[in-house]
């Protein structure tokens, strides 16, 4: 993977477990897209938008979700639909994830979108990168995932700060996301067609936790072997 000093370039394909851990534990590392990934994201979004202009029904863009997949949504309600799916799924409970777990999940979500298969806009990914790179970490309750069907609730909490809602860890404090965005000179992002669904439909929370636990376990196993050998 191409890297510059203190910068991790991602493309949706070559991210390693070690990369995830580095970003999770080191907030000084900045993340950016490769040029190729940026082109793929833009091309994907343009393709889907062209299909929408042709009045084709595309799931998640101009239809309802789940059982309502055959219900067409009027053009003037598409953005509202995407905001509401994020808000309606932000119903997690329990203690918040740690900041390293949150950072890992944020990176994995961005990496997934950067592959160019989600149909999201490049502006959304830039907004996600801005949160991560400015140390604005969403407060994500650790309970609420529905497993194989997706980390819908925790990912919704992770996405709320993008639109200026919810709470975040910022500069050592838990504050309203809107205040954190203002302090970082950022504006709330306006989600567009498909993007609300793309933000919450995934397994990046469990993948983030699993990655960090695996790497810790691997390290402990190596230390145990060394200690045993020395003894």
Whole-number Å distance between alpha carbons of 110 and 12 = 8
Give me the catalytic one of 25, 59, 189, 214: 59
**Lookup: tokens for 145:** 């995932």
CA distance 110 to 91: 22
Establish whether 59 is a catalytic residue: yes
What's the rounded Cα separation, in Å, for the pair 150 and 112? 14
Q: What's the DSSP call for residue 93? A: E
Asked if 106 and 185 count as a contact pair (C-beta separation under 8 A), the reply is no
Cβ–Cβ under 8 Å, residues 166 and 157: yes
Distance CA 143, CA 72 (A): 33
- Would residue 19 be called left, alpha or beta, if left means φ above 0 and alpha means ψ between -120 and 50 degrees? alpha
> Taking every pair of C-alpha atoms in the chain, what is the biggest distance, in angstroms?
72
Kindly list the catalytic residues: 59
């Amino acid at each position: 993977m191409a890297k510059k000093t203190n910068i991790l370039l991602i493309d949706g394909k070559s991210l390693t477990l070690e990369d995830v851990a580095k970003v999770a534990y080191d907030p000084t590392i900045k993340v950016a897209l490769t040029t190729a990934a940026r082109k793929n994201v833009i091309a994907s979004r343009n393709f889907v938008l062209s299909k929408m202009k042709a009045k084709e029904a595309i799931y998640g863009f101009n239809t309802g979700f789940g059982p309502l997949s055959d219900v067409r949504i009027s053009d003037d309600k598409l953005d509202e639909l995407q905001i509401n799916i994020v808000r309606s799924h932000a119903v997690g409970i329990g203690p918040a994830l740690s900041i390293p777990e949150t950072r890992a999940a944020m990176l994995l979500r961005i990496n997934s979108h950067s592959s160019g298969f989600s149909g999201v806009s490049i502006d959304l990914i830039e907004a996600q990168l801005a949160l991560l790179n400015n140390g604005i970490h969403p407060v994500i309750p650790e309970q609420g995932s529905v497993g194989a069907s997706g980390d819908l609730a925790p990912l919704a909490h992770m996405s709320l700060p993008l639109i200026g809602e919810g709470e975040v860890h910022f500069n050592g404090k838990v504050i309203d996301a809107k205040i954190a965005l203002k302090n970082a000179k950022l504006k709330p992002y306006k989600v567009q067609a498909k993007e609300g669904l793309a933000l919450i439909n995934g397994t990046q929370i469990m993948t983030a936790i699993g990655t960090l636990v695996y790497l810790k376990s691997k390290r402990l196993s190596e230390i145990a072997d060394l200690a045993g050998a020395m003894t």
